[in-house]
Structure 1
Amino acid sequence: MLVDQLWDLAHIPRAESLICDLGPSFPELAATIGDGRGVVASVQHRGGAPSAGGEGIWWWRDDIPSGFPFLGEGMRVRLMPLLEGVPCRVHGMVLNGRTAVFPPLELLSLPRPDRGTFLWAGAVPLGRTEPELEKAARRAGAFLDGAFAYRGPFAADGILTAYGFLPTELTTRLTSAFEGSDPFVRVMLHAATILARENADLPAIEELAAAALTSSRIDIYGLATRASEDASECSLAWAADGPHLSAQPVHGHMTLRPWVRGWQLHARLNLADLPGRPVGMYAPQLFALADKTFGTDFGTVTPPFGVTVPAPRLP
């Protein structure tokens, strides 16, 4: 939980935060950091490895969720104010003498109001350049180089707010965002990671990363613990009021299949056919359709904080 100190040392603006034990004073500390805006709490066992996919992260506007792990022993909590904006990720690679910055991504980290948690639904192209994201990535790369002589990939996650990009997490690896890309490109990027550690010059790395992270199709995922069908696939068409089942895959398809911990929903959509950006505005409608069609238990899922779906326009 030292990432906030790293942002400070790298001179990258961030949101305020507070790290504490999960003890009797926790509710008061949470109220202080939230300051009426709401709170996001990342819970981790002391000395434990970081989690992924939104596990161990809670949020609330007023009351702490009933499922929050108050009784956990040896727990540490990182508290931050609830930020409104688009969750984003920017990858980079520290090379000998420069930092390569890759195309930015939108993170589909969708709030679950009934649970006070998040549904992790994947990463999709942001669809535009953001100078603040690039600036943060270059500063992070320069810091990793200067402070640790680091070579290789990294990723900075955060929220693109009305006041700029505020980072929340730093990862020194290629993330799961590359899993849906062409296998050949993934192998080439893995080779580039190894070569970067040997100070190799990689002039085409940005082009290679762009091939992996920019696409006309997007993939949205979700894990459910319950479903009324073991496996199924349906075609989708997008209308003014959201996605509908279709006889033909007009705008994409949605698949449900058994998974390690229940069922995995996978929707593959044509990006140009969606009503607009950010994708997080419309992704919750897919999970509502999945519950109706497959009997899954995603429940109420909403767009990211501060992101609202525009009302349909009358013809």
Structure 2
Amino acid sequence: MRDAGYYRGLVDAAMRPYQWIVCADAAAGFTAGIRRWREQGFPRPLVLAGTPGTGDLPTAEECELVMLGTSGDTMMGGIRAFHDALRSLPPEVVARIEAWDPGGEARVLASFLDNTLSIAGRHSWGARPVEWLELEDKTRADSIWEAAAVDHAPTMVVPATAAELVNAAHALGGDAGTVWAGDNREGWHGGAEYTRYVADPDQAAETIEFMAGHCDRVRVMPFLEGVPCSIHGMVFPDSVAAFRPVEMVVFRVPGSDRFRYGSVATSWDPPDEVREEMRAAARRVGTHLRHRVGFRGVFTMDGVATADGWLPTELNPRFGAGLGPVARAADLPLLGLSRLLIAGETAGLDAVEIEEIAVAAADATRHLGGMTVVDRPVAATETVRVHWDGTAVHPVADGEGNAMLERGPAASGGAVRFVLDPEHVVPGTLGATVVAAAFATADATWDTGIGPLIPAVAH
């Protein structure tokens, strides 16, 4: 069997001949990738960044960095502001692009969250077509589950009015309450920003006001007790690769309708039968997407592992953050491979081989960490060592401890990031429990304003 190095070579061979305009909402998140490019002999790229982000920035020798200075009140607000800015660049930025690429031959590497676009007359490569966006509307997910024969919880999709929402919540909700998810009237959304927990629909005025102000229709479903987790598939012309389950580190906020998104972890394992149920569902959904819209590349199915099995909640027709730790574990360029598939450059790609490499590596090398955005501004990145003792996370002296805790700038103000050293990750550990303790330490250390959190509990 060919190894990950073979697939790195395929992606490098497809990309190395070109100059690249890299669209980076947070520049620091792309530093490692840009440094690898330069080590591999890639031309010096131009990076269009929304914000500096948290972490080290690439140097002037490594790239031409153009900071657009975008911001937003929330994570989605920051992402949307960045995508909008890319489509209306000021003349001085266009002039820098023309000076860097006078021949106009560069290609655009769009964010995996974005769609196809052109920048100063240069076109994107391997970006998802805008036509796939409708698949991400959370009010339309049931039609996909039903077409692909995937079991799911009962739902109702209703107009965003008080009477309709309250009636639907009473019809579907039990003691655990309901979850409301808005449509895509304002564009696609993630990070649980348009997804709200409603314990009592008769006391949900704030949630109703939000939904009515931002959505036309809302999906109402029972709150599912269990572990939020996702499964990723990769669609090829004649097959679908399915990877391993990934925990979504998502918390409820006490006394609020909000969820707090805290990124992803691969330390936890669902029961074997649930794991295979999730992977089989991904294969069926991927096959349906290929037939329905000619889909290629990576997609994500989010859901909850309950006591009665895994139930999906939404489909994201794009690369998901949960594949990041899987790709790193395997040293396999899954995002690059997804771009090759979207671009139709499939020579040398083997779905079975890619799946086997990725799943084996991700099972062997686990990731336990979290990241969340905060609205309190952070001017510069600050990193400290901490120790997870099985119950709490404690600050320690430099060079000690078993984990890293960091805060830094973000489009919405700031970001907090935690990573447990890989050699200290115990397979089977529920990531949300550890990340909640780390975020509590961030609050105590830096007054980040995250506040109390309710982590998921495995059944």
Q: What stretches of structure 1 of length at least 5 have no aligned partner?
A: 309-315
Question: Do the aligned residues in 2 keep the contact of 1:19 with 1:78 (CA within 8 Å)?
Answer: yes
2:389 aligns with 239
Equivalent in the alignment of 1:302: 454
**Does 2:441 correspond to 1:289?**
yes
- In 1, Cα distance between equivalents of 2:413 and 2:400: 26
How far the C-alpha of 1:118 sits from its partner, in A, is 0.9
C-alpha distance in 1, partners of 2:423/2:237? 38
Report the RMSD for the aligned CA atoms in angstroms: 2.8
Residue 43 of structure 2: aligned partner: none
| Residue 229 (structure 1) shift | 8.0
Whole-Å Cα distance in 2 between the matches of residues 74 and 62 of structure 1?
20
Task: Give identity over the alignment, percent.
Answer: 25
Question: Structure 2: how far apart are the matches of 1:112 and 1:299?
Answer: 8
Distance 1:277 1:74, change over 3 A: closer
- What's 2:350 paired with? 202
Distance 1:110 1:90, change over 3 A: same
Q: Deviations over 1:95-122 (max 9, x none)?
A: 2332111122111111112322111111
Matched, 1:98 2:239: yes
Q: Does 1:28 align with 2:167?
A: yes
What is the rounded CA distance, in whole Å, between the counterparts of 1:177 and 1:290 in structure 2?
A: 23
How far is 1:48 from its partner?
3.1
* Residue equivalent to 2:421: 270
1:138 to 2:283 alignment = yes
Q: CA deviation at 1:12?
A: 0.6
User: Which residue in the other structure is 2:303 paired with?
Assistant: 158
Which of 403, 409, 424 is the matching residue for 1:252?
Answer: 403
Asked if structure 1 preserves the Cα contact closer than 8 Å seen for 2:296 and 2:338, the reply is no
The CA distance in 2 between the partners of 1:110 and 1:29, in whole Å, is 24
Normalising by the residue count of structure 2, what TM-score does the alignment of the two structures yield? 0.60
Contact 1:235 1:253 in 2 (8 A): yes
Q: Contact 2:340–2:346 at 8 Å: present in 1 too?
A: no
Kindly tell me: are residues 254 and 12 of structure 1, through their superposed partners in 2, closer, same or farther at Cα, counting changes over 3 Å?
same
| Unaligned runs of at least 5 residues, structure 2 | 1-138
Offset at residue 219 of structure 1 (A): 3.2
Higher strand share: 1
Distance 1:190 1:39 in 2: 35
Q: TM-score, normalised by structure 1?
A: 0.86
Paired position in structure 1 for 2:370: 220
Secondary structure (helix, strand or coil) at the match of 1:68 reads helix
The residue type equivalent to 2:160 in the other structure is L
Aligned mate of 2:333, from 185, 209, 212: 185
3-state SS of the aligned residue for 1:150?
Answer: coil
Measured at CA, do residues 29 and 101 of structure 1 come closer, stay the same or move farther in structure 2, by a change above 3 Å?
same
Distance in structure 2 (CA, Å) of the matches to 1:167 and 1:197: 31
The superposition leaves residues 216-249 of structure 1 with CA deviations (integer Å, 9 ceiling, x where unpaired) of 4433101111268854221111124311111134
Q: After alignment, is 209-218 or 153-162 more displaced?
A: 209-218
Distance 1:179 1:259 in 2: 19
Q: Deviations over 1:250-298 (max 9, x none)?
A: 2111011121111110111125535752212222111111111110111
Bigger Rg, which one: 2
Do structure 1's residue 57 and structure 2's residue 195 form an aligned pair?
yes
CA distance in 1, matches of 2:242, 2:267: 14
Change (3 A) 1:173 1:187: closer
Given residue 219 of structure 1, which amino acid in structure 2 is its aligned partner? G
Q: Secondary structure at the match of 1:173?
A: coil
Q: 2:354 is matched by which residue type in structure 1? A: I
Question: Which of the pair is proportionally richer in helix?
Answer: 2
Task: Give the drift of 1:93.
Answer: 1.3
- Name the counterpart of 1:6: 144
Kept in 2, the 8 Å contact 1:151–1:199? The answer is no
Contact 2:381–2:409 (8 Å) recurs in 1: yes
Which residue identity does 1:14 align to in structure 2? H
Q: Is contact 1:232–1:256 with CA below 8 Å preserved after alignment? A: yes
1:146 Cα deviation after fit: 3.7
- Are the counterparts in 1 of residues 234 and 241 from structure 2 also a CA contact under 8 Å? yes
Name the SS of the counterpart of 1:72 in structure 2.
helix
Task: Determine the structure 1 residue equivalent to 2:177.
Answer: 38
* Cα distance change of structure 1 residues 83 and 114 upon mapping to structure 2, 3 Å threshold: same
Number of the residue aligned with 1:120: 261
Whether the aligned pair in 1 keeps the contact of 2:232 and 2:300 (CA below 8 Å) is yes
Comparing 69-78 with 111-120, greater Cα deviation is found at 69-78
Structure 1 distance, partners of 2:379, 2:394, is 18
- Contact 1:228–1:296 (Cα < 8 Å) also in 2: no
SS for the counterpart of 1:121 is: strand
Counterpart code for 1:185: P
Report how far residue 303 of structure 1 moved: 0.7
* Alpha-carbon distance, 1:141 to partner: 1.8
Change (3 A) 1:288 1:48: same
Task: Compute the displacement of 1:66 (Å).
Answer: 5.5
What is the CA distance between 1:158 and its match in structure 2? 0.5
Size of the aligned set, in residue pairs, is 306
Deviations 1:29-63 (A, max 9, x none): 21221133311011236x33220111111102235
Cα distance in 2 between the residues matched to 1:260 and 1:192 = 30
Deviation per residue, 1:152-187 (Å, 9 max, x gap): 221111101110110111122211234565587256
Letter in 1 for 2:307: A
> Contact 2:253/2:453 (CA < 8 Å) preserved in 1?
yes
Indicate the SS of the match to 2:166: helix
* Structure-2 change in CA distance of 1:74 and 1:186 (3 Å): closer
Residue type at the aligned position of 2:280: K
